[in-house]
Amino acid sequence: MIKVDEKMIHSKMVRIDRDVYIPKSYVKSIKPKNKKHLLFILSPNAKFARFVPCSEEVTKIRLLMLGVAPKFLRKMEEIYFHSGIKPLHTSASNSEITPLVYESYIDNQNLDAISFDDLINRLEHLPGVTEVITETLNAAKYS
């Protein structure tokens, strides 16, 4: 894994999770009317995905996966969609996997974590979402 210099992290990057950083340019202050641009981020164990509101000019949804084959990451980075996905809210009572809530470094908002199956199910039914998303997520899940 690439070691990230602390000075670079604070000046150009935002920490989303342990060992997961994204450029500050992808993130903006969150206002209720600007939640349609979202970034997918997978935890290093590739079992959860989070929705992080992003700057309006970022219309491409990036899936940052640690420990998953680069070809899957490249496929996901090529995919655009404009479906205005909303974060999924789950609770321990209706999920076999207890959802994790992470401290956010973005406006002190909470990030929601959902199970991989929930994410795949949600994506499959969105209009305009290509098969490669499901194929990529399934491949990542079982890699």
Which token pair is 51?
């929705």
Per-residue model confidence as pLDDT tens digits over 92-123: 333 222 222 222 222 223 334 444 455 455 54
Closest to 55 in 3D by CA, of 22, 104, 11:
22
- Do the strands 63-64 and 38-42 form a parallel or antiparallel pair, or are they unpaired? parallel
pTM: 0.23
Does the pLDDT of residue 13 top 50, yes or no?
yes
Percent of the chain whose predicted confidence (pLDDT) is above 90: 0
Tokens of 118: 């929930």
Tokens of residue 10, six digits: 């604070």
Say how far apart CA 21 and CA 52 lie, in whole Å. 12
Q: The tokens of 54 are what?
A: 């992003």
CB count within 10 Å of CB 80 equals 9
